[in-house]
Amino acid sequence: MILIVILVIPLIAAGLSLIPLGRRFAPAVTLIGAMAVLIASLSVALRVASGNRVVMIENWMSCDGLSALVLLLIALVGVTAALFSWGYVEKINHGNGHEKLRYYYTNYNLFLLSLLAVPLFVELALVWIAVELTTLLSVLLVGFENTREALEAAWKYIVLTLMGAAIALLGFLILFWGLRASGGSIYTWDGLIAAAPNMPPVLLQTAFLLILVGFGAKAGLVPLHTWLPDAHSQAPSPVCALLSGVETTAVLYAILRMIPILNAVPSLRAGTWAVVFGLISVGVAAFLLLQVRDYKRLFAYSTVEHMGIILVATGLDSSAAHYGAVYQILSHAITKSFCFFAAGAVLLAVGTREITSVQGLIRTSPTAGVALLFGGLAISGAPPFAVFLSEFSILKAGLSNSQYIAVGLLALFIVIAFFGIMLHINQMVFGQPNVIPEGVNLPTSCVIALILSVIPIVVFGLYVPGPLHELLHLAANCLER
Amino acid sequence: MLDLSSTSPIFSQLNALVGGLFLLSAFGLVIVRQAQACLLIFIIQSILLSISAFLLGYRDASYHLLAVGVLTLVIKPALIPWLLRRTVRQEIYTYREISQVLNIPSSLLIALALTLFSYFFANSLLIIVDGSFAKVNLPIGIAGLLLGAYTLMVRREAIPQLIGILAMENGAFFAGISISPDLPLIAELAAAFDVLIIALVMGILTRTIHENIGTTRVGALTTLKEEPNQ
């Protein structure tokens, strides 16, 4: 029952956001709705962590370790982004009517609904629809500011990701064909793992590659990643936090779920495909990170990099590496959402996205400067933050599995990305300010959102609480054959 | 008296005819020059898709596929054009040539190559089926998908790109109903609904672009890139 409730809450919140009851009503409803979703997701995650599968409708809607983890992350970022939106959207919407504000929050809730649906559905046709809806319900948010650039980004986003989704659709249909050919009829992740050994391998492999390329476009995997830096730099910052922090993860989740299915037939070498695709993404992103000129694009490319790292870790095919992969999913989601909040704070403070026109932030706007520095260090993998621990555990797992080439390349790219990110961040935070600051005050809700979202990054870098550790283990088990 | 039992050769001939026309319509999308003609071809293609669903449904005596046929017939050739006329009427009815990156003859040549490729691609998958409609429909569906993707990439205008996406889905479903006819009905329902949302959202976005920028030549929007702007 609780799984349905999780989906119904944002729907109700979306409806309520339409009611014109002053400018505080829609953000308040959205925030309360998101908090209710978080509490419900937390209780689902705790039940899953104690060893139960939460089932709503058998073979249609249920929740195991991996989906509970993704669900929890979406709900968490949903709350912090709603909180950040409160002050931020008010500011960027300055001068426009309340109508635009209500439009934002309605879309926000619908987008959250579609994101939550991806891990909750286990029937593959519905998963595909949910992924498709995440594009359709977020594209109007990407173009929210109606500038030439924002609309260009929104158009590129919808065209490329829908194209990818159509390719993935063919993959899902071929997968269903293979399932029927093997005599199976349960079109769920678990049903496919059971049926895979009897399925014609050529169908399985073709379906996997179509889904990898098609959904890869949406998860930001090279070569169809080109829309991602555009959309993630032009959308309002709280939307970026959702797009970059959890939307890419939710889509990647669908790809990761395919890997144990293929592993049922060892000759298909799904792991190798994942490692190669992942390394290409990490490598390309690492070098692009060096030459960005826009700090929101910087974090967007870092998302491409992290999606690649997760894919590589899943492909490394040992239980330690799988643990690293799900840990990386966790640390990336919490850190990247924080980074975009920091970027949003900087944007409010200086009003430009150009890296070179921002200098000496630590003096002109200390809160934004410190947040950006923290975000940069945390996302590029400096100790003692969560990303450091997860990347380290992936590299260690790869070494103990003697996958030296993959691990060597991965480590190299991570180091390049680290320098790329810190080079730009350093330039922005320190140095002599070239403009006299006007003393911009950040909205209180933005500051609270920044503080709230930094807590898990620091805490999970030092210690993982018991139930979460259990959940991560269960999630890693879902990636095993 | 016409023999209409589901095994008669006339049936597979009908199916081949529908398949051929479907492929032709996919080629049509590559070569037409007006937005309105694009929409017309999409309508014809969707009708062919629903006829194909009716044929397969009749052969398998599957109510399920008949429902898919009815659903397709209601949504794609009727509701979607209506929706587009409501949101972006002006874009569709302005009489002008759609600019595209490549000229028509080279486009046709590439389209031909893509079709050949989809036959080879489908052949490698078809080893497991016996002589059924899938042998005809799968390669044509894949070709429809690829040609839709190609249209999407070479067109510079919003409406033809939108129709390219819808054509890709048509192609995927044309292949899909022949290889996996018993997909759960709820999935088909959701997919049909999904196509409507695509048309609605892209229609709204196109209108917003037109209102704010004054053109729908989305190909001309090229400010976002890494290199510094001149």
pLDDT in the model for residue A98: 84
Q: Which residues span the domain enclosing A92?
A: 2-478
pLDDT in the model for residue A174: 93
- Contact status, residue A324 vs residue A394, Cβ threshold 8 Å: yes
With vertex at residue A170, the alpha carbon angle to CA A131 and CA B158, rounded to the nearest 5 degrees, is 65
For chain B, what percent of residues have pLDDT higher than 70? 89
Q: Cα–Cα distance between A198 and A184 in angstroms, integer?
A: 9
pLDDT tens digits, B90-100: 776 665 666 77
Q: Answer whether residue A440 shows pLDDT above 80.
A: no
Q: Cα–Cα distance between A85 and A238 in angstroms, integer?
A: 6
- Mean local confidence (pLDDT), A297-325: 94
Using 50, 70 and 90 to split pLDDT, how confident is the model at A436? Answer: low
Question: What element of type H or E holds B35?
Answer: helix B35-60
Using 50, 70 and 90 to split pLDDT, how confident is the model at A413? Answer: very high
Inter-chain residue contact A147 with B142, CB threshold 8 Å: no
Chain B residues with beta carbon closer than 8 angstroms to that of A125: 183-184, 186-187, 190-191
Q: Answer whether residue A163 shows pLDDT above 90.
A: yes
- Mean local confidence (pLDDT), A234-254: 95
Most B CBs within 10 Å, among A96, A147, A155, to test the B interface: A155
Inter-chain residue contact B212 with A177, CB threshold 8 Å: no
For B191, the closest of A123, A129, A156 (CB atoms) is A129
Inter-chain residue contact B218 with A206, CB threshold 8 Å: no
How many CB pairs (< 8 A) connect A and B?
Answer: 127
- Contact status, residue A424 vs residue A354, Cβ threshold 8 Å: no
Instruction: Determine whether B4 is exposed, middle or buried from the number of CB atoms within 10 Å of its CB (0-12, 13-18, 19+).
Output: exposed
Chain B residues with beta carbon closer than 8 angstroms to that of A153: 224
Chain A closest CA to B31's CA: distance in Å? 20
Q: Which residues share a beta bridge with A61? A: A57, A121
Q: Answer whether residue A368 shows pLDDT above 70.
A: yes
Name, in order, each residue with C-beta under 8 angstroms of B207's C-beta and a sequence gap of 6 or more. Answer: B87, B88
pLDDT tens digits, A103-160: 999 999 999 999 999 999 999 999 999 999 999 999 999 999 999 999 999 999 999 9
Question: What element of type H or E holds A55?
Answer: strand A54-57
Q: Is residue B179 part of a domain?
A: yes
Inter-chain residue contact B128 with A153, CB threshold 8 Å: no
Chain A closest CA to B190's CA: distance in Å? 7
Chain B residues with beta carbon closer than 8 angstroms to that of A290: none
pLDDT tens digits, B36-45: 889 999 999 9
Q: Answer whether residue A53 shows pLDDT above 90.
A: no
The domain total for chain A is 1
pTM above 0.90, yes or no: yes
Q: Among residues A272, A160, A254, A247, which one has the least CA distance to residue A207?
A: A254
pLDDT tens digits, A92-112: 887 777 888 999 999 999 999
Q: Cα–Cα distance between B29 and B190 in angstroms, integer?
A: 26
The domain total for chain B is 1
Q: Which residues span the domain enclosing B166?
A: 10-219
pLDDT in the model for residue B228: 54
Mean pLDDT of chain A: 92
Joined together, the tokens standing for residue B60 give: 């398998």
pLDDT in the model for residue B230: 40
A57: three-class secondary structure by DSSP: strand
Q: Over the range A162-201, which residues count as b (16 or more CB within 10 Å of their CB) and which as e?
A: bbbbbbbbbbbbbbbbbbbbbebeebbbbbbbebbeebbe
Joined together, the tokens standing for residue A401 give: 């599995």
Q: Is A125 on the interface with B (CB under 8 A)?
A: yes
Q: Give the residue from chain B lying closest to A230, CA to CA.
A: B224
Q: Is B8 on the interface with A (CB under 8 A)?
A: no
Chain B closest CA to A170's CA: distance in Å? 5
Q: Give the residue from chain B lying closest to A146, CA to CA.
A: B212
Chain A residues with beta carbon closer than 8 angstroms to that of B222: 152
SS3 content of chain B, % helix, strand, coil (to 5): 80, 0, 20
Q: Answer whether residue A81 shows pLDDT above 60.
A: yes
Q: Is residue B225 part of a domain?
A: no
Q: Is residue B4 part of a domain?
A: no
Mean pLDDT of chain B: 86
Cis preceding linkage at A10, omega within 30: no
Question: What element of type H or E holds A62?
Answer: strand A61-63
Q: Which residues of chain B have pLDDT under 70?
A: 1-7, 92-98, 129-131, 226-230
Q: Is residue B1 part of a domain?
A: no
pLDDT in the model for residue A433: 77
